[in-house]
């Protein structure tokens, strides 16, 4: 992984490293044109050189950009720069559910029931919305769920955060594209449904298996 902090890609200045994933490295960045903070995923160079990957990235960005839900990270832009490819998306302050669970485990504590229920409800609502748009996520897991702190919860019963689903890097359209065909296994094995492990055709039920 090459640290690109301080560099500029298109009109985005990369200010801080957020994390590194299977397809790319994510930075907290600043949009110099619109003067706002965003997150920019810079694709790993060996993927960016693959024509099939570039096609999948374009599909991913266009598909995810059409999703508008309070518990789904918004996609703003995607493009090429001399060193490869990038996607610009909404920056969400807060840590991942995975990191939160690890902190609780270190203190021998569990996630409170009310928080567990709120996360489950918000993620189920986000997935229901995406599935109605004929989109599946394919990689629902704690590290892809961000807990965004809220100064004012939406209701008195709500916990002081909103769970937000990120990294639609494995998004697949349910219909009408050759890249949805069976035979390709993508995802995180620990959370994958049996049919996903076998490389079979998927629908929204596979996401629900991963969530549950």
Please, are residues 36 and 29 in contact by the beta-carbon 8 Å criterion?
A: no
Q: Rounded to an integer, what distance in angstroms lies between the CA atom of residue 169 and that of residue 8? A: 22
Q: Is 68 a catalytic residue?
A: no
Please pick, among 31, 68, 128, 139, the residue that the annotation labels catalytic.
Answer: 139
Q: Rounded to an integer, what distance in angstroms lies between the CA atom of residue 123 and that of residue 111? A: 16
Q: Rounded to an integer, what distance in angstroms lies between the CA atom of residue 57 and that of residue 68? A: 19
What's the per-residue H, E or C state across 134-176? CEECCCCCHHHEEEEECCCCCCCCCCCEEEEECCCCCCEECCC
Contact residues for 33 (Cβ-Cβ < 8 A; gap 6+): 11
CA nearest 204: which of 125, 141, 128, 123?
128
CA nearest 211: which of 170, 165, 171?
165
Q: Which residue numbers are catalytic?
A: 139
């Amino acid at each position: 992984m090459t640290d690109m902090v301080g560099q500029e890609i298109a009109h985005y200045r990369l200010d801080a490293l957020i994390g590194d994933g299977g397809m790319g490295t994510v930075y907290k960045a600043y949009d110099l044109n619109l003067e706002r903070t965003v997150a920019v995923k810079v694709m790993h160079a060996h993927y960016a050189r693959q024509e099939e990957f570039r096609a999948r990235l374009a599909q991913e960005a266009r598909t995810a950009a059409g999703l508008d839900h309070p518990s789904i990270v918004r996609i703003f832009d995607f493009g090429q720069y001399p060193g490869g490819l990038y996607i610009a998306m909404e920056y969400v302050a807060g840590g991942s559910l995975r990191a939160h669970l690890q902190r609780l485990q270190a203190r021998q504590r569990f996630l409170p029931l009310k928080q567990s229920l709120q996360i489950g409800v918000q993620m189920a609502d986000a997935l229901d919305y995406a599935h109605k748009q004929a989109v599946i996520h394919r990689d629902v897991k704690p590290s892809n769920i961000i807990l965004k702190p809220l100064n004012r919860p939406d209701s008195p019963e709500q916990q002081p955060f909103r769970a937000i689903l990120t990294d639609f890097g494995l998004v697949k359209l349910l219909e009408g594209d050759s890249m949805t065909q069976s035979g390709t296994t993508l995802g995180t094995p620990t959370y994958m449904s049996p049919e996903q492990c076998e490389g079979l055709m998927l629908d929204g039920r596979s996401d629900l298996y991963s969530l549950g």
